[in-house]
Structure 1
Amino acid sequence: MSKRLIAGFWDAMASNDFTHASTWLHPEFEYYMPQTREYLRGRTAFAALNDAYPTEGTWVFAVRSIVADGDAVVSDVEVTDGTVEARAVTFHTVKDGLILRQKEYWPDPYPAPGWRAPWRQIVDAPPF
């Protein structure tokens, strides 16, 4: 059930109607981005933040994986507006059938170190 909730949330995010997407969030929703130490509370703040994000076009979300264990869910999602290409790894906590908390990482890609070349290949997506 938690996995379906998160899949539904990402589908709602793909509508680019972030007020609509915020209906998947618990009334006591909390959001934290550890890399920038930003914290926000509430559905309204979540929708406003996403509406205000400077963008070059419509956001497109490609869910790569969702792993759930009870009320703890992790999603790995590629995000683009046609110019920005990013990845969001989000740790969700579910309560009462809604998303209570999200802790989200937006890791930047970086070139593979040359010393690892004998053991690896560079691919756009893993074969699994």
Structure 2
Amino acid sequence: MDGHSLIKQYWRACEERDWEAFGRTVAPDVVYRDPQTREIVRGRADYVAFNQTYPGDWHLTVERVIAQDDEGVSWTSFAVGDETMTGLCFFRFGDGLITEIDDFWPEPYEPPTREVPVVDRY
């Protein structure tokens, strides 16, 4: 399976709470890192449990996936209640499985005032 399909399958299983299928997308020795919280999870069983026990009634939408060779990235929208967050996940692949994940959750902020009005807001 190519990286693009693997990432899509990973997120589909996650959204469907199909933890068996989710676990089949990651390597037995997968490493997950969240640089903002400085959390690290090692191994398939622990990583599945980490996701399976995430609190709240959350849902995610995949906005974009790009993958080439042994690396890929996804942009997701993650909703918990009334709050929606943007997630950026960087993946590494090996032997048809995800071997490493670096997960970023940037927070929105108000931009600085500009001297030149060249930017619109959406």
Q: CA, structure 1 residues 84+23, in 2 after alignment: closer, same or farther (shift >3 Å)?
A: farther
Which secondary structure state, in structure 1, belongs to the residue aligned with residue 17 of structure 2?
coil
Q: Deviations over 1:1-49 (max 9, x none)?
A: 1111111111111102334312210111000111121111111111211
C-alpha separation in 2, matches of 1:2 and 1:20: 16
C-alpha separation in 2, matches of 1:87 and 1:100: 22
Q: CA, structure 1 residues 8+120, in 2 after alignment: closer, same or farther (shift >3 Å)?
A: same
Shift of 1:87: 1.3
Mapped contact 1:65–1:77 kept (Cα < 8 A): yes
Amino acid at match of 1:100: T
Amino acid at match of 2:51: N
C-alpha separation in 2, matches of 1:96 and 1:116: 51
The structure whose residues are more often strand, as a share, is: 2
- Counterpart of 1:60 in structure 2 is 59
- Counterpart of 2:103 in structure 1 is 104
Pairwise mapping of residues 65-76 of structure 1 onto structure 2 (< 5 A)? 65-76=64-75
Shift of 1:114: 2.2
TM-score by length of 2: 0.89
Ranges in structure 2 where 5+ consecutive residues have no aligned partner: none
1:88 equivalenced with 2:87 (yes/no):
yes
- Counterpart of 1:78 in structure 2 is 77
C-alpha separation in 2, matches of 1:16 and 1:115: 44
C-alpha separation in 2, matches of 1:110 and 1:87: 12
TM-score by length of 1: 0.86
Q: Deviations over 1:74-123 (max 9, x none)?
A: 11111113333111101100111110000110111111222277111112
Amino acid at match of 2:35: P
> Once superposed, what is the RMSD of the aligned Cα atoms?
1.6
The structure whose residues are more often helix, as a share, is: 1
Equivalent pairs, count: 121
C-alpha separation in 1, matches of 2:84 and 2:115: 25
Mapped contact 1:19–1:44 kept (Cα < 8 A): no
